[in-house]
Structure formats: structure tokens, C-alpha cells
């Protein structure tokens, strides 16, 4: 018989998980003002809030940390990471930062001015936050198909080239400092972008003289989907595909806490020495000297190893198989989600689970709270709360999709945990008719409100 699949690693250390009663969870979420970010980690049984910084590092990464050079300037750890970045992405100019939003802060400080327009394929929360904080405009140019959660497409996170060209053609060049291409497209459900779309987006940007910035948090997962879904790439290695992806980019930002499989870290890299020198000043101001940028030497060494290891097919295959397992189980139970299964998470379609709940009562957040009450599972709303208010009208923005993201940390949970998650979703789906009211906001910050928002149950 053909041998069954087994993960390409073994487990060297474990951490105990605390279970809780529904009564305890009801009290805890009430104290947290129905914001799952405000829960303590020991009040959570299975934590799917994010895959960012929550993965399990390898023995090679832990060993590399012991070689960390903590020199303030010129640390050898910096040069090891710089070499890895240059080899993997082909970007000669590089600034480490403590995480992805810091990389955005550095590069947008160098690129953006008030009134600018930044088109992209579903800017994620911090990206849009940095753009709007600078009184600029993020214009979504994602393909329309991404809004249909039941439509099966191999590359559902792509840039709509007609939408992008319309923005480029109708605005003066000096108003568009860059185009942002996010791989994979998190907001649209962890959906990938094909090499063809990357190339055609880059060619369009070059025709209009606008640099292409790739938001790269899950670049390796995107490369995996290119290898497994796009014609002509099956025989290429993940590293070869990554290099081809970034040959089309001018700038990249990355939260390395995802596909770098580290607890903290990020960077911005670019081809232009002139832009590097401009960004360098902001890096020193906000992050630290250019050879550490808010990262310790040991973290830079762990990241260098993580980038190398996680651009091997076996590691990515194990990770994405587990996400796919959750999708397959939800299919069996009839629970709707953004199809096909994404690279880092399953995004449950909250509108289809709770079709009678008014959008003003925050559908995806209501589902997120229900999942926590059901089984102590913490997911995150990708919907109206995350969308923030319109900065000009101050009205709530209601996106086409209301999703509950269940982000799977790398090498942390077993398939049995996945089965618990699926069963909890099934239980909620089967009693969905009983969920008739949602939540109202009692406190919100003016930007990125989802992190600190406070809510009250509508009775």
C-alpha cells in the first residue's frame, strides 16, 4: 500500500493547554468588552488570532540564536541576514525593523505625502492604517471574484489590471508613490497571486513609471501555490519561484513573523540606493541604527535560518495541508468559508453563517465571540470593525466580505486540534438560528480600532 503522509519534522517540546468552562468564558469575554484581543492567553484553549509570531521555531533556529551578535553597530548577525535577503529576494538594499508595520512606517515615511493615492489588492489593516494616517488614499483594485466566497479559483487574490490602470491613468504620476501588491492576499482570505499577475502588474507599473511594492508577509505560501497551481512551475523549487516573484518588485516590506517563522522581526528592502538613503533616516529615527533596526542579533540570526528553512517545499506542504484539512472538515459539515482554502487560515463566511444579522451589529465579530464561547477558540474578525470608519465621512465602512479568520500557527497544533476547531464551527452552524443579535461599539480609537474596540451585547 502507499504510505500515508507524515509531517517532515518531529516535536521536541510541548506546552500545556488550559481548558475552561463556558461559564468562565462568558465572564472573561464580558470583562474583555467582547474584544478577543483583550483576552489573556491563559483564557484561550486554541489560539487562532494570528499566525504572526506564534509559530514553533526549529532546533536550527534556536541554535542560531546562540550565535547572535548584539553589537550596536556592524553586528555579524545583520550581515548574515542581509546575505540571506539578497540571495533569496535579490534586493541589494535592506533595513531590518522590529516587525512588518514598522517596515511600512519607514518606507511610507520616505515615499508618501498628504493627498497621495496608493492602489493595491486589498491593503491589510496596518498598511491601510499607515496610508490613511498620512492623509493619503488606499484604493482597492482586487479582482471582483474575491468577493464571492463560494467561487473556486486558483488565484483569487489578484490585482485587477483594468482597475489598476484606471487609477494610474486618471491621476498624475506624482500623486501615486507606489502600487502595493500583497502576497498572499490576507484580507481576501489568504488567497494567492499568480506569477502571471505579478508580472503583468509590474509591467503596468513600469509603463506608468510607478514602483511596485510587494507586501510580503506570506511570500513563501504564495510561491507554494504558484508551484502547485500555475502551469510551468511544478518543477521549480520554492526558492527559484521566490526569486522570480521579486525580480518584478522594486520594494518589499515584510512581517517576518509569518513565513520567517520567528517571534519578532521584519524588514524593508529595495533596489534603489537613493530610496534606501532616504528611508535610512526614518529607520534610525523610529527603529534604531541601520544594522539592527529594532531587532536583537539573536532574532536576526533566527530569521536568517527561518527564511532558508521555510522556503523548502516540505515545510510549506505540511503547513498548507493542515489548513486544507480544516477546510475539508468544514465542507463535510456544510460550513461556508472563502474557497479555496487559503495558505495560512480558513476564513469562515460570517454573512452566510448568520444571514439574518444586520451589518450594523458586526456579523463577523458576533461569530468570533460565539466560537470563543463554544470552545475557547480565539479567531479574529476581518470585517466591518477592522475596516474602520471612512476618514472623511466618519461613517462605518461595510466591506463586501464579513469573515472570521482562523489563522493556523506553524508547527503548533496537531490535526486533533483542527478537528476540535471544525466541530466547534459545526456546532455553531447548527444552532445559527438562535443567534439573533450582535454587538454595538461603546469605545473605539480613531484608527485601527479593532485592536482596542470595546463592545456591548445588544439585548
396 upstream amide cis, omega within 30 of 0: no
Residue 20 has phi, psi (to 5 degrees) of -145, 170
| All residues at 6 or more sequence positions from 31 whose CB lies less than 8 Å from its CB, including other chains | none
Burial 185-202 (b: 16+ CB within 10 A, else e): bbbbbbbbbbbebbebbb
For residue 142, give the 3-state DSSP assignment: strand
User: Residues for the chain: how many in total?
Assistant: 459
How far, rounded to the nearest angstrom, does the alpha carbon of residue 426 sit from its chain's CA centroid? Answer: 25
Opening angle at CA 125, ends 141 and 133, nearest 5: 95
Which residues are catalytically annotated? 72, 124-125, 215, 217, 258, 450
Asked if residue 94 lies in contact with residue 82, where contact means CB atoms within 8 angstroms, the answer is yes
In sequence order, which ranges of 35-135 are alpha helices (DSSP H)? Answer: 59-65, 76-89, 100-111, 125-133
| All residues at 6 or more sequence positions from 304 whose CB lies less than 8 Å from its CB, including other chains | 64, 77, 80, 81, 83, 84
Distance CA 344, CA 330 (A): 16
Burial 352-387 (b: 16+ CB within 10 A, else e): bbbeebeeebbbbbbbbbbbbbbbbbbbbbbbbbbb
Q: Which residue has the cell 529595495?
A: 270
Asked if residue 418 lies in contact with residue 329, where contact means CB atoms within 8 angstroms, the answer is yes
Asked if residue 391 lies in contact with residue 412, where contact means CB atoms within 8 angstroms, the answer is no
Amino acid at each position: 500500500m502507499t504510505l500515508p503522509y507524515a509531517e517532515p519534522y518531529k516535536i521536541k517540546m510541548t506546552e500545556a493547554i488550559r481548558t475552561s468552562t463556558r461559564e468562565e468564558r462568558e465572564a472573561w469575554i464580558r470583562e474583555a468588552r467582547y474584544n478577543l484581543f483583550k483576552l489573556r492567553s491563559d483564557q484561550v484553549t486554541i489560539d487562532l488570532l494570528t499566525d504572526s509570531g506564534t509559530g514553533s521555531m526549529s532546533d536550527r533556529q534556536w541554535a542560531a540564536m546562540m550565535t547572535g551578535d548584539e553589537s550596536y553597530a556592524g553586528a555579524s548577525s545583520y550581515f548574515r541576514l542581509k546575505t540571506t535577503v539578497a540571495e533569496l529576494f535579490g534586493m541589494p538594499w535592506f533595513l531590518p525593523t522590529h516587525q512588518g508595520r514598522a517596515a511600512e512606517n519607514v518606507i511610507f515615511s520616505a515615499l508618501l505625502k498628504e493627498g497621495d493615492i496608493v492602489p493595491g489588492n486589498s491593503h491589510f489593516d496596518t498598511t491601510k492604517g499607515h496610508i490613511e494616517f498620512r492623509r493619503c488614499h488606499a484604493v482597492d483594485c482586487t479582482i471582483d471574484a474575491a468577493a464571492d466566497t463560494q467561487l473556486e479559483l486558483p488565484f483569487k487574490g489578484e490585482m485587477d489590471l483594468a482597475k489598476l490602470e484606471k487609477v494610474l491613468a486618471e491621476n498624475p504620476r506624482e500623486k501615486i508613490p507606489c502600487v502595493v501588491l500583497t502576497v498572499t492576499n490576507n484580507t481576501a482570505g489568504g488567497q494567492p497571486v499568480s506569477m502571471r499577475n505579478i508580472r503583468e502588474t509590474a509591467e503596468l507599473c513600469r509603463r506608468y513609471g510607478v514602483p511596485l511594492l510587494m507586501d510580503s508577509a506570506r511570500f513563501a505560501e504564495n510561491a507554494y501555490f504558484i508551484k502547485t497551481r500555475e502551469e510551468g512551475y511544478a518543477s521549480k523549487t520554492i526558492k527559484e519561484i521566490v526569486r522570480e516573484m521579486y525580480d518584478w518588485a522594486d520594494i518589499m516590506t515584510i512581517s517576518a513573523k509569518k513565513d520567517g517563522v520567528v517571534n519578532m522581526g521584519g524588514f524593508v528592502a529595495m533596489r534603489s540606493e537613493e530610496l534606501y538613503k532616504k528611508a535610512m533616516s526614518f529607520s534610525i529615527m523610529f527603529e534604531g541604527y541601520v544594522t539592527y533596526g529594532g531587532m536583537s542579533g539573536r532574532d536576526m540570526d533566527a530569521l536568517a535560518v527561518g527564511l532558508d528553512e521555510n522556503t523548502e517545499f516540505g515545510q510549506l506542504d505540511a503547513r498548507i495541508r493542515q489548513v486544507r484539512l480544516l477546510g475539508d472538515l468544514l465542507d463535510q459539515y456544510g460550513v461556508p468559508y472563502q474557497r479555496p482554502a487559503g495558505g495560512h487560515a480558513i476564513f469562515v463566511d460570517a454573512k452566510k453563517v448568520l444571514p439574518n444579522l444586520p451589518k450594523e451589529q458586526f456579523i463577523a465579530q458576533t461569530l468570533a465571540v460565539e466560537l470563543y464561547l463554544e470552545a475557547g477558540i480565539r479567531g479574529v474578525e476581518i470585517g466591518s470593525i477592522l475596516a474602520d470608519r471612512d476618514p472623511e465621512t466618519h461613517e462605518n465602512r461595510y466591506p463586501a466580505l464579513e469573515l472570521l479568520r482562523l489563522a493556523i500557527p506553524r508547527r503548533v497544533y496537531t490535526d486533533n486540534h483542527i478537528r476540535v476547531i471544525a466541530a466547534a464551527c459545526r456546532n455553531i452552524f447548527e444552532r445559527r438560528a438562535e443567534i439573533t443579535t450582535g454587538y454595538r461599539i461603546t469605545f473605539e480609537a480613531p484608527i485601527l480600532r479593532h485592536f482596542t474596540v470595546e463592545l456591548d451585547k445588544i439585548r
